[in-house]
């Protein structure tokens, strides 16, 4: 068997048994990257021989860690000391951070090896990885299709076996949506469960880091490694981190599963609806109790999200002014021209669009009409989920209304692009955890994702419900014919 095809738990068992070394495993992944990267373009930077050297020098004291010697890819908006962190933007094209993100430090401490930095929509603003200044990532199942976004590079790398797992970030579905389109597992933890220190900010009240993996066990392993309180992140919550892998038993008997009626209505692709219905029937057959619930403010989620997210982006991206770091336009005659040209030349069209939308929403005379009203809608969305979880343990829904669309199909229609996140955005607005797992394919052979949502800090139940479905199906074992 090709070593690069292993899951984390398979690789960990082989490494501990001495069936391969970390350097051999990393070399196998490097070979796979070389074989598929020109077809997929998942990476912005490939560690190559440096990763093999890192693997060769691992401290044997960490061998008990399930991540010891395991090649992990990192979305290129996570700070990596001395290694480029570009956010797939020209304005940070040559930026090398002087520190590691907390999640990167924790993975290093667990003995993980980094295969490289993956492509993303510029500053994580997009749903297709087409806004990257580094080029478009392609879906391993069909290179004419998008892989999803903004963590499209991470999802494509995992699906293509160009790493064993990856980290991404999720602001409005940016882990779960590409996981769905690429036929893998993607987990967005509860807001505050994982430190955001070292994550380049898009929308600070919505961003969350999480794993993209080949199965649910690996997602549980990675989440346990990166979760936990961090005093360097003021939004990090100091709550105990369960031993997620040990809690996976696949038992759903008497579990109360809610189905939001708003998520299976007009606009959903026929094969997606059928796959979700089949998943519900399977879990009902395993003893779960299925009931319909309502999330009545779902229709307002997209419009409210794109006010709040762009407002926060407008504030966060003000730091890119050509003065302290990043791209600087030259020659210029004065400071104002440097600001104007550096931003005009450094930011891409989608980032500029969102900065302008956010600045307008926050401007004098419009704050109450837009930003304040969007915050009120956010509260209503949170209350919808709270009411649903009063009668349910988890919610099941499609991850996306359709399977992956063609590259270029929606790039000139921002509204249609934004609507592709309609089932994921509310989860970030409410701050709850959610996971996308494979649940089938459409008539064209493209993957379909099933989304499991849970209560705040109840990732254990979310993971177990997903694991229960996964253990009764073979969708997660399918691989694209690269």
Query: Cβ(78)–Cβ(170) under 8 Å?
Result: no
The rounded average pLDDT for each run of 10 residues, N- to C-terminus, in the chain (482 residues) is 94 96 97 98 97 92 89 98 97 96 98 98 97 98 98 98 98 98 98 98 98 98 98 98 98 97 90 98 98 96 96 96 92 94 96 96 92 97 98 98 96 83 96 98 98 98 98 97 90
Nearest to 425 by CA among 171, 192, 147, 167: 171
Task: Pull the structure tokens for residue 117.
Answer: 């930095």
The rounded radius of gyration (Å) of the Cα atoms in the chain is 21
Nearest to 210 by CA among 41, 395, 404, 435: 435
Task: Pull the structure tokens for residue 342.
Answer: 């550096």
Give the sign of the dihedral formed by CA 173, CA 38, CA 406, CA 481: negative
Query: Cβ(455)–Cβ(390) under 8 Å?
Result: no
- Residue whose pair of structure tokens reads 């478009």 in the numeric block: 136
* Catalytic-role residue among 88, 128, 154, 174: 174
Task: Pull the structure tokens for residue 407.
Answer: 């590259």
Nearest to 68 by CA among 1, 117, 116, 23: 23
Give the sign of the dihedral formed by CA 287, CA 422, CA 183, CA 268: positive
Question: How do beta strands 113-118 and 209-213 pair?
Answer: unpaired
Q: Is 195 left (phi over 0), alpha (psi -120 to 50) or beta?
A: beta
Nearest to 306 by CA among 432, 191, 400, 429: 429
> In 3-state terms, what secondary structure has residue 303?
helix
* Catalytic-role residue among 12, 45, 65, 75: 75
Annotation marks residue 39 as catalytic: no
* Catalytic-role residue among 12, 65, 127, 150: 150
Q: What Cα–Cα distance (Å) separates residue 40 from each residue in 124, 437, 480?
A: 19, 21, 11
Annotation marks residue 150 as catalytic: yes
* Rounded Cα–Cα distance for residues 370 and 358 (Å): 10
Q: What is the predicted pLDDT for the residue at 1?
A: 67
Torsion of CA 128, 100, 4, 442, to 10 degrees: -20
Nearest to 187 by CA among 392, 423, 454: 454
Query: At a CB cut-off of 8 Å and minimum separation 6, what does 199 contact?
Result: 77, 78, 79, 101, 103, 169, 207, 209
Nearest to 466 by CA among 442, 433, 443, 441: 433
Nearest to 29 by CA among 181, 214, 170: 214
Nearest to 70 by CA among 21, 119, 17: 21
Task: Pull the structure tokens for residue 405.
Answer: 């669309």
Q: What is the DSSP string of 82-93?
A: TB---TT-GGGT
Nearest to 90 by CA among 414, 270, 398, 348: 348
Q: What is the predicted pLDDT for the residue at 81?
A: 97
Q: What is the predicted pLDDT for the residue at 412?
A: 84
| DSSP secondary structure code for residue 347 in this structure | S
Q: Taking the domains of the chain in order of start, what are their residue ranges?
A: 3-254+393-477, 300-364
| Domain 3-254+393-477 CATH class label | alpha beta
Give alpha helix (H) positions in 98-151. Answer: 102-109
Task: Pull the structure tokens for residue 206.
Answer: 């919505």
Specify the pTM: 0.97
407: Cα within 13 Å, side-chain hemisphere: 18
Q: What is the predicted pLDDT for the residue at 415?
A: 78
Give the Cβ contact number of residue 387 at 10 Å.
Answer: 14
* Rounded Cα–Cα distance for residues 456 and 293 (Å): 18
The angle subtended at Cα 411 by Cα 408 and Cα 417, nearest 5°, is 120
124: Cα within 13 Å, side-chain hemisphere: 31
């Amino acid at each position: 068997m090709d070593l690069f095809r292993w899951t984390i738990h398979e690789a960990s068992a082989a490494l501990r048994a001495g069936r391969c070394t970390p350097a051999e495993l990393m070399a196998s992944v490097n070979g796979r990257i070389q074989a598929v990267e020109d077809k997929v373009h998942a990476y912005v930077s490939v560690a190559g021989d440096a990763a093999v050297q890192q693997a060769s020098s691992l401290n044997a004291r960490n061998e008990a860690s399930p991540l010891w010697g395991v090649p992990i890819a990192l979305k290129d908006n996570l700070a990596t000391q001395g290694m480029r962190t570009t956010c797939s933007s020209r304005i940070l094209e040559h930026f090398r951070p002087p520190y590691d993100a907390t999640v990167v430090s924790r993975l290093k401490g667990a003995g993980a090896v980094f295969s490289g930095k993956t492509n993303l929509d510029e500053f994580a603003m997009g749903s297709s990885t087409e806004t990257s200044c580094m080029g478009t990532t392609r879906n391993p199942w069909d290179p004419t299709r998008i892989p999803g976004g903004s963590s499209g590079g991470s999802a494509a790398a995992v699906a293509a076996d160009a790493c064993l797992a990856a980290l991404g970030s999720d602001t409005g579905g940016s882990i779960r949506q590409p996981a769905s389109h690429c036929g893998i597992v993607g987990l967005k933890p509860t807001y505050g469960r994982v430190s955001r220190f070292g994550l380049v900010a898009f929308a600070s009240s919505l961003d969350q880091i999480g794993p993209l993996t080949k199965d649910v066990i690996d997602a549980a392993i990675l989440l346990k490694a990166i979760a936990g309180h961090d005093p360097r992140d003021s939004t990090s919550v100091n709550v105990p981190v369960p031993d997620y892998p040990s809690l996976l038993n696949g038992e759903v008997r008497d579990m109360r599963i809610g189905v939001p009626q708003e998520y299976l209505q007009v606009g959903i692709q026929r094969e997606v609806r059928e796959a979700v219905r089949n998943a519900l029937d399977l879990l009902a057959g395993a003893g779960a109790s299925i009931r319909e619930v309502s999330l009545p403010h779902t229709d307002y989620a997209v419009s409210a999200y794109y006010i709040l997210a762009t407002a926060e982006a407008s504030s966060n991206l003000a730091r890119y002014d050509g003065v302290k770091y990043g791209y600087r336009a030259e020659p210029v005659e004065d400071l104002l021209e440097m600001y104007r040209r550096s931003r005009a030349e450094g930011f891409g069209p989608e980032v500029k669009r969102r900065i302008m939308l956010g600045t307008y929403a926050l401007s004098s005379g419009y704050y109450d009409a837009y930003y304040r009203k969007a915050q009120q809608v956010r509260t209503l969305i949170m209350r919808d989920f709270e009411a649903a979880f009063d009668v349910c343990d988890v919610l099941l829904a499609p991850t996306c209304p359709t399977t992956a669309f063609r590259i270029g199909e929606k790039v000139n229609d921002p509204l249609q692009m934004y609507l592709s996140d309609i089932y994921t955005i509310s989860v970030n607005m409410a701050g709850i955890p959610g996971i996308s797992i494979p649940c089938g394919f459409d008539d064209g052979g493209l993957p379909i994702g099933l989304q499991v949502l849970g209560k705040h800090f109840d990732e254990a139940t979310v993971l177990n419900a997903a694991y229960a479905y996964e253990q009764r199906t073979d969708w997660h074992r399918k691989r694209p014919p690269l």
